[in-house]
Amino acid sequence: MPKMIERSEILVDIMSERTATATANVKIDLEEAFSAHHRTVFRAARSVVQDAGLAEDVTQETFIRLHNNLHSITNEEMLRPWLIRVAINVARNTIRGQIRSNARDENYVKQSGMLEAASVETDYEEAAGVNEIYRVLNEIKEPLRSCLVLKQQGLSYKEIAASLDINETSIGTYVARARSEFAKLYGAAGR
């Protein structure tokens, strides 16, 4: 009788090894994983971010990461814990990113002095200044005006010459003359 028990134990061991091997080699289907674990992942994300919209974004990112790592997850039993861990990590990173973004925005506002609302007079003066610049630019003759504008936009002499079909060696002279004329006309306007 002891040999019979021993043989049945060996058979059970062999069967459990085959089952474990078969389970380990199961290919995880993304759609099935999404259907089975979407709610769990969403709840885990929402518990961290406290916002349904952000939790949905975190859930999507989690399943994107699953898609990218399907080849490395071979054990279906570990899928749910893996998804929850990834969802929590992505949610924490999302919160950290928002905190950093808010801090950057606050620093920008402090540095640029944007805490005060721009007054109507300031807006009018700025618009009048821009209009004056356009008026002065329109008084400068072509091709000087175009060379100046294109140079101010960051184009090289070669690019300016190609776009205006002018000799490249003349561009520097045209830009210098246009700057001089602009300064004279803009200064004559009382600026």
pLDDT at site 6:
56
Residue the block writes with tokens 């002279």: 173
Q: Considering 112, 139, 156, which residue would you say is the last residue of a domain?
A: 112
Is 50 within 8 Å of 98 (Cβ atoms)?
Answer: no
Rg (CA), the chain: 35
Nearest to residue 90, comparing CAs of 51, 130, 44, 132?
44
Co-location of 94 and 179 in the same domain: no
Residue the block writes with tokens 């973004």: 101
Q: Considering 92, 112, 132, which residue would you say is the last residue of a domain?
A: 112
pLDDT at site 53:
92
pLDDT at site 29:
86
pLDDT at site 24:
47
Q: How far apart are CA 149 and CA 143, in angstroms?
A: 10
Question: What is the rounded (10 degree) CA torsion for 131, 135, 140, 141?
Answer: 110
pLDDT at site 124:
66
CATH code, domain carrying 36: 1.10.1740.10
Q: Considering 81, 112, 143, which residue would you say is the last residue of a domain?
A: 112
Q: Give me the sign of the Cα torsion angle 178, 179, 184, 185.
A: positive
Co-location of 40 and 100 in the same domain: yes
Q: What is the pLDDT along the chain (191 residues), one digit of tens a residue?
A: 555 555 555 544 555 554 544 444 557 788 999 999 999 999 988 888 888 999 999 999 999 999 998 888 878 888 888 998 899 899 989 988 888 887 777 777 666 665 455 566 666 667 777 788 888 888 888 888 888 888 888 888 888 888 788 899 999 999 999 999 988 988 875 54
What is the number of structural domains in the chain? 2
Nearest to residue 95, comparing CAs of 46, 62, 37?
46
Q: Which domain holds residue 131?
A: 120-188
pLDDT at site 22:
46
Q: How far apart are CA 183 and CA 176, in angstroms?
A: 11
